[in-house]
């Protein structure tokens, strides 16, 4: 032993940087999907590290559903300016035209049109052949088997039965015109790793992750924050002011808050360590039944 | 495994500090179906609190629905991530799982024990530093145990935990445990493991998983977790010679030129000398650049950017190496190859090879033998099927740098990719460089191709006629040659049938032989083109990749694919040589169009409608095209 062993976070960091560099070298038109959440914050941080002192050699893409928390958009604008990023924002114009939203169309249809379809539109429009995402294998059972370079057909489908074997850190980057890969540099990180790394590296994240008094109403057992006046309230219903935070961020009507007083990173991590609820539970999209995520992925949801 | 639980508020920052020092271990679990792999991993996740309430709720309801534990929690369901697999009740792919204790983070590759899934095991083992090999105490060592052990040793894993599971079902009998241990140690002598640690377990009841079991008072070795935490798998990558495969040239502006990559092995310090062995260029390290500031020293595993003191020409695919102890640089090597595709390996076919950050073209020049993964016996072979392993000689399109896999897993391993489907079809570990290539130098000649062509008043080229048997290839080629000859052009016609009587008379009609057939004809055509001749090749050449290979032998614009497009029905009706009748009767095997595929050209330069054009007209058409291209 020479004392040259890297810690687990440094090993994970190096692996992610390696993946970023492979994709940037092997593909003609990569893009990084930027969802503004904590995983995206870590992803962005790693991308800046990977290419330093060069700027990130590809654009970021945010598929906006028009229902994101306002603080997310503010944060996005701030970060883009501060780091001088090349950010593309795509909103599904058909969805806007049809007035699609979670309250009028239900969460499934809303997500399908504004997120899944929106993403496909953007990928097709710009002809990206590789898209970075912040998914982790510990998030959900079907992700545990997904490759780091995850092949997608021309119609953006994932075929779990027909994945390319992935050995060592040698990634097969060959695609035909129209086909693409999703690359997941955070595959081997866990939620705890992410929080520890954010703490270690002092990475900025959206303030919604920290507890604060916020106006919430209860819907189907979830605490939904009233982020703007599009939230339909029952007659006489007044949102409660509660100290809450979010473990995951998405469209505000679909994202449950947890009651908490954790207002600093160590407090969040501590809460997380004693928590027994996995993070996707805060997202309505996964709640229907197990296997639903796998189906969505096959259809091209990230 | 009280890992990270119930931290008091005040301690959390100290706790976080301590967690930053944590190491990491990647391991693989292997066993036969039902040995208890999934149960074991489920338990490790459960005990390290990596299962959450909602996952538990899903698990409980799923256990009732499809579980095998009579309504009790079936941990195995956790591991069977994909829905389709869940219904079959068998894991068919590699799943990666994570858990952590206070000392280490673990990444577990869970791989199936089922017969046909060697490729998944090899995949999981490629990134693992330790293997947990499960054995059902009632069954002892099975064929699969030997196979799994061989595969993990092939992939360079040095540390084995022999998890003798289901001890509860053999009354925790020490004798059973010892017998299995002894038998395994004997078998494993041939496999070069550094440590083998046998542990008596019950994955279901938790015996010796985390704490010592009262049921096995006779066992004094470590528990599974304490061994995983303590094991030192660091094969001392830092002590090996420095290697940095360049991934990306970092050029933010004209004043900065850096080479970005992950250090595969060794240590690099500011001022150290380096060499790029393929070109022999040397320099010294000016700076070790990272986002977090320049470093004085960087070690194996770190992703860095190096700047050099000299302007030398380095690009992606090159390797920066220590001046002493350079890697091999060669265009031929011997390697063990694991075949991972449903379509068999075809020696002589060109595959894309990716080794580190280098991508080039490679083919198998000799398949020396196959290794039977169950008995480790060697048998002669002409091809490799899915999940077979062979020892092969490879020839590459250019010389590249590498180390034997035994010395360096990062710089001694490669994948093979099919040129057409882009599938990853094989994975290889290099044994050693073959030096022969170094001793055959190209003879440079003064009179070259252009001179020879010019003397004949033409531009030499290969016209490659492809199409089904009976499509009219040879007739058209014949007509064309007559006409060109009459015009005073210098030609040669290479006909499939004729070549098979001489040069290729040792070849049959298996896929492997067909590929070799085409390769030889391609090389011959290349020589004739070099001699300045307009070379007509009339060969069924059913596979796209082989025609592509032939195309690749010639220079840009010298290879014209002529697709004689005649429907199978028409060819079969013509059946000039009576071959279709025989094939239909089963007297000829592997007959193109009948029981062997014909892959139509996608970008042929010339297409002849063979059913509706007579040979004269076809020949005239081709002459017109040659004239247009300025070749005659
Ligand atoms: N009695 C007993 N049963 C076990 C033990 N480990 C696993 N099993 C059972 O063996 C069966 C197969 O286990 P599973 O984990 O699915 O095996 P896998 O195919 O290797 O993943 C299940 O019914 C388990 O409950 C053990 O230590 N003792």
B122-179 pLDDT, tens digit each:
999 999 999 999 999 999 999 889 989 999 999 999 999 999 999 999 999 999 999 9
pLDDT score, position B181: 97
- Hey, what are B31's tokens? 């066993």
pLDDT score, position B318: 96
Handedness of CA A163, A165, A167, A172 (dihedral sign): negative
ipTM of predicted complex: 0.90
Mean pLDDT on A100-117: 91
Q: How far is B590 from chain A (nearest CA, A)?
A: 28
Of residues B345, B571, B362, B337, the one with CA closest to residue B471:
B571
Q: CA-based diameter of chain B, in Å?
A: 98
How far apart (Å, rounded) are the C-alpha atoms in residues A279 and B50? 12
Active-site amino acid positions of B: 541
Interchain contact, A168 vs B21, CB within 8 Å:
no
- Those residues whose C-beta lies under 8 Å from the C-beta of residue B527, and which sit 6 or more positions away, are none
Taking contacts as CB-CB distances below 8 angstroms, the residues of chain B near A193 are: 105
Residue closest via CA to ligand 1's atom 28 equals B166
> Confidence class of residue A253 from pLDDT cuts 50, 70 and 90?
very high
Give chain B's residues under pLDDT 50: 1-9, 81-84, 86, 89-91, 437-442
- Those residues whose C-beta lies under 8 Å from the C-beta of residue B26, and which sit 6 or more positions away, are B106, B107, B108, B109, B127, B128, B129, B130
Is the pLDDT score of A287 beyond 50? no
pLDDT score, position A98: 93
Q: Is the omega angle on the peptide bond into residue A247 within 30 degrees of 0, that is, cis?
A: no
pLDDT score, position B504: 87
How far apart (Å, rounded) are the C-alpha atoms in residues B145 and B154? 14
The distance from CA B34 to its chain's CA centroid, rounded to whole angstroms, is 29
Interchain contact, B413 vs A167, CB within 8 Å:
yes
Segment 8-67 of chain B within 8 Å of chain A by CB: 9, 12-13, 16, 19-24, 49-50, 52-55, 58, 62
Mean pLDDT on A27-49: 97
Percent of chain A having pLDDT more than 70? 89
DSSP-based three-state secondary structure for B252: strand
Segment 194-213 of chain A within 8 Å of chain B by CB: 196, 199-200
- Hey, what are B115's tokens? 């017969």
- Hey, what are B62's tokens? 């799923």
DSSP track, A23-58: HHHH-SSEEEE--SSHHHHHHHHHHHHHHTTSPPSS
pLDDT score, position A288: 42
Q: What is the average pLDDT score of chain A?
A: 89
Task: Provide the β-strand partners of residue A212.
Answer: A244
pLDDT score, position B496: 76
- Candidate from B24, B247, B409 with C-beta closest to A11: B24
- Hey, what are A71's tokens? 């603080």
pLDDT score, position B512: 78
Mean pLDDT on A6-23: 96
Cα dist from A40 to A30, A61, A67, B96, B462, whole Å: 16, 11, 18, 21, 54
Interchain contact, B81 vs A163, CB within 8 Å:
no
DSSP-based three-state secondary structure for B541: coil
pLDDT score, position B595: 86
pLDDT score, position B59: 67
- Hey, what are A20's tokens? 């970023």
Query: In B411-557, which ranges are E strands?
Result: 413-417, 424-433, 461-466, 491-495, 534-538
How far apart (Å, rounded) are the C-alpha atoms in residues A219 and B174? 58
- Helical (H) or strand (E) element with B233: none
Is the pLDDT score of A301 beyond 90? no
**B477 CB under 6 A from ligand 1?**
no
**B541 CB under 6 A from ligand 1?**
no
The distance from CA A140 to its chain's CA centroid, rounded to whole angstroms, is 13
Express each pLDDT in A69-101 by its tens digit: 999 999 999 999 999 999 999 999 999 999 999
Question: What is the count of residue pairs from A and B with beta carbons less than 8 Å apart?
Answer: 207
pLDDT score, position B55: 63
How far apart (Å, rounded) are the C-alpha atoms in residues B393 and B432? 10
> Confidence class of residue A276 from pLDDT cuts 50, 70 and 90?
low
B218 inside 8 A of chain A by CB? no
Judge residue A213's burial from the number of C-beta atoms within 10 Å of its C-beta, 0-12 exposed, 13-18 middle, 19 or more buried. Answer: exposed
Q: Of A173 and B21, which is predicted with more confidence?
A: A173
pLDDT score, position A140: 74
**B31 CB under 6 A from ligand 1?**
yes
- Helical (H) or strand (E) element with B58: helix B53-66
């Amino acid at each position: 032993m020479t004392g040259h062993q890297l810690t687990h976070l440094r090993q994970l960091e190096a692996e992610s940087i390696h993946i970023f560099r492979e994709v940037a070298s092997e593909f003609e038109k990569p893009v990084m999907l930027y969802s503004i959440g904590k995983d995206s914050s870590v992803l962005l941080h790693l991308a800046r590290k990977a290419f330093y002192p060069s700027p990130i050699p590809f654009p970021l893409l945010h598929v906006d559903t028009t229902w994101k928390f306002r603080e997310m958009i503010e944060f996005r604008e701030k970060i883009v300016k501060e780091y001088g990023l090349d950010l593309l924002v795509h909103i599904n114009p058909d969805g806007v035209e049809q007035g699609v939203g979670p309250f009028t169309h239900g969460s499934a249809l809303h997500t399908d049109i504004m997120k899944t379809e929106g993403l496909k539109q953007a990928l097709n429009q710009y002809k990206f052949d590789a898209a970075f995402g912040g998914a982790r294998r510990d998030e959900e059972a079907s992700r545990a088997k997904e490759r780091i370079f995850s092949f997608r057909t021309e119609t953006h489908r994932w075929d779990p039965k027909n994945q390319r074997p992935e050995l060592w850190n040698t990634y097969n980057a060959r695609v035909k015109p129209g086909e693409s890969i999703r690359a997941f540099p955070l595959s081997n990180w866990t939620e705890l790793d992410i929080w520890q790394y954010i703490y270690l590296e002092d990475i900025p994240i959206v303030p919604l992750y920290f507890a604060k008094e916020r106006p919430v109403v209860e819907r189907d057992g979830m605490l939904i924050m009233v982020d703007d006046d599009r939230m339909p309230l029952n007659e006489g219903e007044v949102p409660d002011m509660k100290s809450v935070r979010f473990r995951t961020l998405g469209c505000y009507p679909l994202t449950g808050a947890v009651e908490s007083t954790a207002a600093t990173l160590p407090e969040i991590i501590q809460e997380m360590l004693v928590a027994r609820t996995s993070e996707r539970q805060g997202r309505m999209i996964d709640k229907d039944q197990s296997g639903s995520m796998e189906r969505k992925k096959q259809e091209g949801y990230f | 495994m009280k890992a990270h639980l119930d931290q008091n508020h005040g301690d959390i920052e100290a706790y976080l500090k301590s967690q930053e020092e944590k190491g990491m271990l990647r391991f693989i679990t292997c066993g036969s179906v039902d040995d208890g792999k999934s149960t074991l991993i489920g338990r490790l996740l459960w005990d390290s609190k990596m299962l959450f309430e909602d996952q538990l709720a899903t698990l409980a309801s799923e256990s009732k629905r499809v579980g095998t534990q009579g309504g009790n929690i079936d941990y195995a369901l956790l591991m069977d991530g994909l829905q389709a697999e869940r219904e079959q009740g068998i894991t068919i792919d590699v799943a990666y799982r994570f858990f952590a204790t206070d000392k280490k983070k673990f990444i577990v590759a869970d791989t199936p024990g089922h017969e046909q899934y060697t490729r998944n095991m090899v995949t999981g083992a490629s990134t693992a530093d330790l293997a947990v090999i499960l054995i059902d105490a009632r069954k002892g060592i099975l064929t699969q145990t030997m196979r799994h052990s061989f595969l993990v040793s092939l992939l360079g894993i040095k540390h084995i935990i022999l998890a003798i599971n289901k001890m509860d079902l053999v009354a925790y009998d020490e004798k059973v445990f010892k017998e299995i241990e002894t038998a395994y140690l004997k078998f494993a002598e041939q496999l070069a493991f550094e440590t083998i640690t046998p542990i008596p377990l019950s994955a279901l009841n938790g015996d010796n998983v985390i704490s010592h079991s009262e049921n096995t008072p006779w066992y004094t070795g470590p528990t599974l977790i304490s061994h995983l935490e303590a094991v030192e798998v660091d094969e001392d990558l830092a002590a090996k010679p420095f290697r940095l495969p360049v991934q990306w040239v970092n050029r933010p502006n004209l004043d900065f030129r850096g080479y970005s990559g992950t250090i595969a092995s060794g240590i690099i310090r500011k001022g150290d000398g380096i060499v790029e062995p393929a070109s022999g260029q040397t320099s010294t390290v000016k700076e070790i650049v990272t986002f977090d500031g320049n470093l004085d020293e960087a070690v194996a595993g770190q992703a860095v950017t190096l700047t050099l003191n000299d302007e030398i020409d380095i690009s992606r695919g090159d390797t920066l190496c220590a001046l002493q102890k350079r890697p091999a640089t060669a265009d031929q090597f011997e390697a063990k190859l694991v075949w991972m595709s449903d379509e068999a390996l075809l020696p002589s076919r060109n595959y894309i090879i990716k080794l580190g950050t280098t991508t080039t073209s490679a083919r198998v020049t000799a398949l020396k033998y196959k290794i039977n993964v169950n008995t480790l016996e060697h048998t002669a072979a002409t091809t490799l099927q899915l999940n077979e392993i062979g020892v092969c000689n490879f020839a590459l399109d250019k010389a590249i740098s590498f180390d034997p896999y035994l010395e360096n897993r990062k710089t001694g391993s490669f994948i093979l990719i099919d040129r057409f489907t882009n599938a990853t079809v094989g994975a290889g570990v290099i044994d050693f460089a073959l030096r022969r290539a170094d001793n055959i130098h190209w003879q440079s000649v003064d009179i070259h191709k252009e001179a020879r062509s010019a003397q004949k008043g033409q531009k030499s080229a290969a016209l490659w006629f492809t199409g089904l048997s009976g499509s009219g290839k040879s007739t058209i080629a014949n007509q064309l040659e007559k006409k060109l000859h009459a015009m005073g052009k210098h030609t040669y016609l290479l006909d499939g049938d004729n070549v098979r009587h001489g040069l290729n008379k040792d070849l049959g009609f298996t896929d492997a032989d067909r590929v070799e057939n085409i390769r030889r004809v391609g090389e011959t055509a290349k020589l004739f083109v070099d001699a300045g001749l307009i070379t007509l090749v009339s060969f069924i050449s059913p596979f796209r990749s082989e025609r592509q290979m032939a195309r690749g032998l010639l220079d840009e614009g010298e290879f014209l694919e002529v697709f004689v497009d005649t429907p199978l029905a028409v060819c079969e009706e013509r059946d000039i040589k009576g071959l279709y009748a025989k094939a239909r009767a089963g007297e000829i095997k592997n007959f193109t169009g009948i029981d062997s595929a014909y892959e139509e050209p996608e970008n042929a330069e010339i297409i002849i409608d063979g059913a509706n054009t007579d040979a004269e007209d076809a020949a005239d058409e081709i002459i017109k095209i040659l004239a247009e291209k300025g070749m005659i």
